[in-house]
Chain A
Amino acid sequence: MSDKKLIIAGLVIFCVLFTFPLWFNMGKAAPQPKLELTEKAKAAKTCVLPLEEMRGSHMQLLDLWRHSVVRNAERVYVAADGKTYTMSLSNTCLDCHSNKAEFCDRCHNYASVSPYCWDCHIDNPKGEN
């Protein structure tokens, strides 16, 4: 092939560009985010679900909550230990975790996630910020 050199050159450039995020960010990983709990959250000791589950599946829990509240008119969540919670992002979750910038945002920014929940749901129900 007469184009062999061009093709190989093109392939090399492509590979370099394709793996750009890997070698550009080598050794530059940001430290794991440290989350701050409010006094109220510390006092409560446990969340609605165990920590690991909340970390991994709080969005699934919120989906269940909104489905139950909006579509089934069921507003009370009974956790495994019998504790009840009103299913509300702003009025329950953010009641305890009212420091969104030091709690929710820390992980969200780290993972480059910008949930649009806050377009509608009030993110400072206690009137802070």
Chain B
Amino acid sequence: MEDSRRTFLKIAGISAMGLGANPILSAFATDEHTEAPAEEQAQTPAEAHAEAGAEQAPAAAGEHGEAGRVHVQRGSDALTAKQWAMVIDTRKLQTKDDMEPLIAVCHKIHNVPKLQNKHHEIKWIWETEYQHAFTDKMNQFLNQEVQHRPFLVLCNHCENPPCVRACPTKATFKRESDGIVMMDFHRCIGCRFCMAACPFGSRSFNFRDPRPFIKEQNKQFPTRTRGVVEKCNFCAERLAVGQMPACVEASKGAIAFGDLYDPESEVRQLLKTNYTIRRKQVLGTEPSVYYIV
């Protein structure tokens, strides 16, 4: 009696594994389906022969893909680069008042909440003193003007980002197409390992629901929810439609933005003709934000 019960259980177990294998494998196949580039989407039946009706979305005006093949592509006015970089001419941003509009526009268009509790504050870009921005370059006898000049700090979109190395789900990742260190808010599990890894303190965490603290919601851009990490995204959504990052635009020329690996770009010209410093260069993360002091 004992043996046949054991045999029965063994067979039942193996059958259950066999039956379960197919759904599990197809679930993983679906995941790869969404992971893979959109070429695979051509499998969905291409049916509709609709008349060219009203334009669906503003930004796609004037575009037309090949009929019959479903795919995704970049917008025709999207800006591209191998590695986006920024050169901040700090001589042109002398006071806190100079910086206010830059910070305000970034936080406004990205629905960054303003929390009173400093522990829970969220900031994508902010100003600080030289001694805090450049902790490895402090002198006891520093140029007085530089010592009291405010400096703009933000995510450096490093070429060798430790936060990307740390993320266990690739929720933060370095985009192949343009070098921006992006956040995928759908995937972030809120472990905050990236916050520990960032040598520049650029990342913020949503300790609570941010929506009550957003004064004026920008309906064109999502908010975030509690439990995810966020930071500057180099205005990826603006670059995709041919616009410069908001802080660059608001800086009236104090901030240059361009492709670090395009020798003709404004950024490279500035780097060639000015001595620039970066934050914590010695760590080798290769920040893409340069400062002309």
Spell out A's residues near B (CB within 8 Å). Answer: 40, 43-46, 48-50, 53, 60, 63-68, 70-88, 90-92, 95-96, 116, 119-122, 124-127
Contact = CB atoms under 8 A, between A and B. Distances in A.
Given A64-B41, A73-B175, A75-B75, A84 B60 contact: yes
B60 A81 contact: no
Interface residues of B, number: 56
Given A91-B220, A120-B223, A120-B225, A43 B53 contact: yes
Contact of B57 (A60, A74, A92): A92
Nearest to B74: A74
A76 B248 CA distance: 25
Question: Considering residues A48, A76, A88, A122, which has the most beta carbons from chain B within 10 angstroms of its beta carbon?
Answer: A76
A122 B110 CA distance: 12
Contact of B182 (A71, A76, A84, A122): A71
> From DSSP, what is the main secondary structure of chain A's interface residues?
mixed
Contact of B67 (A60, A80, A120): A80
B93 interface: no
B56 A96 contact: yes
Nearest to A72: B177
Contacts of B71: 78
B78 A122 contact: no
A50 B48 contact: yes
B273 interface: no
Contact of B64 (A50, A82, A92): A82
B43 to A, nearest CB: 12
B266 interface: no
B79 to A, nearest CB: 10
A84 B56 contact: yes
A123 to B, nearest CB: 10
Interface stretch (B30-38, B96-104, B131-139, B251-259): B30-38
11 contacts: A40-B54, A44-B56, A45-B53, A78-B72, A85-B56, A85-B57, A86-B58, A119-B225, A120-B223, A120-B225, A122-B219
B119 interface: no
Interface string B216-242: 010110111100000000001000110
A68 B78 contact: no
Interface string B66-91: 11111111110010100000000000
A75 B74 contact: yes
Contact of A86 (B45, B59, B182, B185): B59
Nearest to B211: A119
Contacts of A80: 44-48, 67-70
B3 interface: no
Contacts of A81: 46, 48-50, 67
